[in-house]
Amino acid sequence: MFKGSLTALITPFRDGKVDEKAFQALVEWQIDEGTDGLIPVGTTGESPTLSHVEHERVVELCIEAAAGRVPVIAGAGSNSTEECVRLTQHAKTAGADAALIVTPYYNKPSQDGLYAHFKTAAEAVDLPIIIYNIPPRSVIDMSVETMARLAKDFSGIVGMKDATADLARPLATREAIGDDFCMLSGEDATVLSFMVNGGDGCISVTSNVAPGALSQMHDAWASGKHDDAMTINAQLFPLHQALFVEPNPVPVKYAASVLEKCDMDVRLPLTPANENTRKLVHQAMVSAGLLN
């Protein structure tokens, strides 16, 4: 259903407000560069510090700018099941192709609690759901067994974004659920290894600033040009690393500002990239061929 290079979009700010013009220009550039799908208001989009009105507006702006040319998977996660359902309903009403729902953070629900959370969303809204499993941020790990149970019980739960960095996970998931379940990596640095083990693509941070190169890498992989894909991946590896020397999206917003795509502003409690981060990101952008 979803495959290739998909971008977890940053949310540009100017003077403390969402920079709508910069955001829609970023969407246009992404599509022009070959990006296969767009994910507004995820972690990279600073969803925790967007108001509900801003969250919904960014989803609407993305769908409007994409104009049906690529899928839009709207971030709709929350540690409140009620809020998650409301955000998922808005995504459907706005015209999103799917919702990305993160495992509830901070609450630390059990596997039964995780099942009930996603069950409630799937029953409440007729929209494809991608489960976002990211233990480093949510402090919980949805087991393969729980994910398989959800996929088998609810046809609307169609895939996962996996940020466990466990490269055996796609193999175990494919074995448990089958070939129709969409498996997307959430880790740029390991995406080729993830796809070797059956993955379908990546919801990427790096593609905010290197959409063309990542589109080419995924196209090369899909067409069997594995050496070409590996060459591109190796060239981008220093950039993948540099974009996480501070919490995401601080480094990637700095990188986007260097490319004049937006200001580098982030919202508290995040702070703009420090001097060391700027130096490392700049060097990695040169290494990746994004700058002279």
List the catalytic residues: 132, 161
Beta bridge partners of 100: 75, 130
Helix (H) or strand (E) segment spanning residue 112: helix 111-124
Q: CB under 8 Å to 235, separation ≥6 — which residues?
A: 213, 287, 288, 289
Helical residues (DSSP H) of 154-249, grouped into ranges: 169-177, 191-196, 211-222, 226-242
Q: Which residue, among 32, 145, 41, has the nearest Cα to 88 in the 3D structure?
A: 41
- Two tokens, residue 214: 């990542």
Q: Which amino acid is at 24?
A: Q
With tokens 């990006």, the residue in question is 35
At residue 252, what are phi and psi to the nearest 5 degrees?
Answer: -70, -30
Q: Which amino acid is at 30?
A: Q
Q: Report how far residue 6's alpha carbon sits from residue 38's, in angstroms, rounded to the nearest whole number.
A: 6
Helix (H/G/I), strand (E/B), else coil: 97:
coil
Nearest 5 degrees, angle CA 152-CA 155-CA 160? 75
Q: Which amino acid is at 191?
A: V
With tokens 């941020």, the residue in question is 137
Q: Report how far residue 9's alpha carbon sits from residue 72's, in angstroms, rounded to the nearest whole number.
A: 11
The alpha carbon torsion through 17, 27, 160, 86 (nearest 10 deg) reads 40
Q: 13 and 267 in contact (C-beta within 8 Å)?
A: yes
